[in-house]
Structure 1
Amino acid sequence: MSGTKRIEGRCLCGAVTVSALVEAPNLRACHCEMCRKHTSGMFISVSTLPGSVEATGPYTSFPSSAWAERGFCQTCGSTLWYGTVADGVRHPSAGLFEDAAGGEMTLEFYADKCPQGYKLAGEHRKLTTEETEALFAPNEE
C-alpha cells in the first residue's frame, strides 16, 4: 500500500511499546463517561489499519462494557488503547506517539457529553450519544 507507514510509541515509563500501521493518522476523541474516568479527560485515539496494532511489555486490558475493553500499562498505568470486543480492533492512544503521530482531529464520539470546560475547536464530525452507540453497541433485539 502506498502511503502506509508504521508508527511506534511508548507508555509513560517506557515499559510498553505500541506500534501500528497508518495511512492517514486521523485523530478521534471520545467524551463518554468511561473514557473520561479512564483518562481524566477525553480519550484521543489514532486511526490505524485494522489488525495492525501490536504491543510488547507488561500490559493488560480491562473489559469496561459489553462491547469494549481498555488497555493500560501494568507498570505506570498509562492508557494504551480502547478496543472493540466484537472485532478485536484496538484504537491506540494518541499520546503514545510523538506529535500524536502527526494526526489531525477528524471525529468526536459522544460530543453531546463533552464537558463545557474543554470543548474542541475546529471543523470535524461530531457524533451524539445516539449516533455513537448505533456504531458500537451490540444490537440487543
Structure 2
Amino acid sequence: MSTTNEYRGRCLCGAVSLTVKADNHDVGACHCNMCQTWGGGPLLALESVKEVKIDGEGEVTVFQSSDWAERGFCRQCGTHLFYRLRDGNHYAVPVGLVDRGEPWNFTAQIFIDEKPAFYDFANQTKNMTGQEVFEAFTGKA
C-alpha cells in the first residue's frame, strides 16, 4: 500500500512556498560537480516527488544547467527550490526546504564517482556512478 506524504516549505524570504507530494521519506545525495558548485556540497533531496505546487512562481528563476535539466531558485533570496528534468518527469527538492522533523531515510547516493575525497557518509546506501544514473534515466548503456 502506497501512501503519499505532503510536505510544505518556503524560501528564506517567504516570497516562494512549495507544497510537495512524495511517495516516501527517502532522501538521496547527489555528488555531481554541478550540485557541488550550486550549493557548496552535495544536494540532499527528496527523490520520490510526484507533484510540486509553487506559490509565488513569479519570484522563481529557472536556470537551464544542462541539456536535460534545470534548477529553480528564489529570485529574491536565492534559496534553492528544485532540480528537475526538462521533460518534467523528475523533481528533486532539497530536503532542508521542507524538513520539519520527519523520519527521513537516507537511501541513495548518485554521482558517487564525483564525490570529493574529503567527506564520507556513514549510512549504508545504494550508490550509483554518473554513468549508472544516465543509464537508469535513458535506458541506454
Post-superposition shift, 1:119?
1.7
Partners of 2:8 and 2:110 in 1: CA distance? 25
Give the TM-score normalised by structure 1. Answer: 0.86
Off by >6 Å, runs of 4+ in structure 1: none
Please identify, of 28-37 and 89-98, the stretch whose mean Cα deviation from structure 2 is larger.
89-98
Q: CA RMSD in A?
A: 2.1
Is the CA contact 1:62–1:69 (under 8 Å) kept in the aligned structure 2?
yes
Is the CA contact 1:83–1:90 (under 8 Å) kept in the aligned structure 2?
yes
Partners of 1:19 and 1:48 in 2: CA distance? 14
Matches within 5 A, 1:29-44: 29-44=29-44
Please identify, of 68-77 and 90-99, the stretch whose mean Cα deviation from structure 2 is larger.
90-99
Name the CA shift for 1:119/1:59 in 2 (closer, same or farther; >3 Å).
same
Residue of structure 2 equivalent to 1:14: 14
How many percent identity over aligned positions? Answer: 33
Matching of residue 89 in structure 1 with residue 90 in structure 2 = yes
How many residues matched? Answer: 138
Give the TM-score normalised by structure 2. Answer: 0.86
Residue of structure 2 equivalent to 1:119: 120
Name the CA shift for 1:73/1:102 in 2 (closer, same or farther; >3 Å).
farther
Post-superposition shift, 1:101?
4.4
Partners of 1:121 and 1:105 in 2: CA distance? 10
Partners of 1:129 and 1:2 in 2: CA distance? 29
Name the CA shift for 1:6/1:131 in 2 (closer, same or farther; >3 Å).
same
Partners of 2:139 and 2:78 in 1: CA distance? 28
Post-superposition shift, 1:86?
2.5
Matching of residue 27 in structure 1 with residue 27 in structure 2 = yes
Report SS of the residue matched to 2:131: helix
Matching of residue 110 in structure 1 with residue 111 in structure 2 = yes
Structure 1 unaligned blocks of 5 or more: none
Residue 24 of structure 2 aligns with an amino acid whose one-letter code is A
More strand by share: 2
Matches within 5 A, 1:31-110: 31-50=31-50, 52-57=51-56, 58-99=59-100, 101-110=102-111
Report SS of the residue matched to 2:118: helix
Please identify, of 24-33 and 7-16, the stretch whose mean Cα deviation from structure 2 is larger.
7-16
Post-superposition shift, 1:21?
1.3
